[in-house]
Amino acid sequence: MSPLETMKYTVADTLLTTGIDVGSSAIKVAVMSDGPAGQKLLSGSSERIRRRDPGHVARGLFEESLRQAGVAEHDLAYVATTGEGEGVEWRTGHFYGMTTHARGALFLDPEARAAIDIGALHARAILMDPRGKVLGYRMTSQCASGSGQFLENICRYLGVTLEEIGPLSLKADAPEKCSSICAVLAETDVINMVSRGISTSNILKGIHESMGGRYLRLLQSGGATGVMMVTGGLAADVGLVAAMREGAVEAKMAGEIRTHPQSVLAGAIGAAIWGAFRARRVAASGVLLGGRGA
């Protein structure tokens, strides 16, 4: 039975909620408290799926995150999913990814007025107001060269890990730009660069500059200004973030590219926050839910 069927929540209550962001290559979980003192992140975890059943990975990460937070599942007022999380059977409700990333970005940086969510398959620029309401968005095309999966493929070819690419990119002294935005042709570019003796650092920095330029154009086309938060899986890539900051300065953009140590969890954090909001609204309405689902 859902907690929403038996409890009424007031503004004075502190609610415990969990957000589960199911992505194409990784799952992120955030456990939050929401009360008079505001929202607080109690625990957050991310785990790559690696050809496993996403439902099993999500369940294991969910239980581990609760243990880290010192929270029991029956204490949760809401279990919110986002991304591809509709298949999470124990969820209370599901929220659209743009709304969760907007709210998560705002939690991580209250000055944020835009977010660029960079995932395994696509990137999207999201504009929001000071309350986290989505005002507009832009998305990359279906071409994989603007995605985390493309970057992962390049890393495998170069023989480096995803954790190594950011620091390596920062060491570049003469970045070699990719001439094409097509994933297949870009990979051919990389093969040619290796045969010409271009260093791994300069290849990666060139790729970061190419990808970062695409993301900045998304933000510009949407009219983003002010603080722009990088969220999603590639937010942890320090080389990509550095390339975006450099590109924003060169393009004289009216804003600042920022990230946060928990930017990867932005979608899960936003889902948990919206879950608390939804729990209060449903409880106040007196409407009983017929099990898990909102």
> Domain ranges in the chain?
3-102+265-285, 110-259
Tell me if domain 3-102+265-285 and domain 110-259 are identical in fold: yes
Q: Which fold has domain 110-259?
A: Nucleotidyltransferase; domain 5 (3.30.420)
Q: Which residue has the higher pLDDT, 284 or 19?
A: 19
Evaluate if residue 144 carries a pLDDT over 60: no
- pLDDT score of 11: 61
The contacts of residue 227 (CB under 8 Å, 6+ apart) are 109, 111, 112, 113, 114, 255, 256, 258
Alpha helices in 73-161 (DSSP H): 97-108, 148-158
- pLDDT score of 153: 83
Q: CB-based burial of residue 287 (10 Å sphere; 0-12 exposed, 13-18 middle, 19+ buried)?
A: exposed
Write out the DSSP string of 155-166: HHHHT--HHHHH
- pLDDT score of 288: 52
CATH superfamily for domain 3-102+265-285: ATPase, nucleotide binding domain (3.30.420.40)
150 vs 253: CA distance, rounded Å:
26
Question: What is the residue whose two structure tokens read 């124990």?
Answer: 90
- pLDDT score of 125: 95
- Under the banding of pLDDT at 50, 70 and 90, the label for residue 290 is very low
Whether the Cβ atoms of residue 210 and residue 178 lie closer than 8 Å to each other: yes
Summarised one tens digit per residue, pLDDT across range 55-75 is 999 999 999 999 999 999 999
Token pair belonging to 223 = 């009219």
- Under the banding of pLDDT at 50, 70 and 90, the label for residue 293 is very low
Q: pTM of the full predicted structure?
A: 0.90
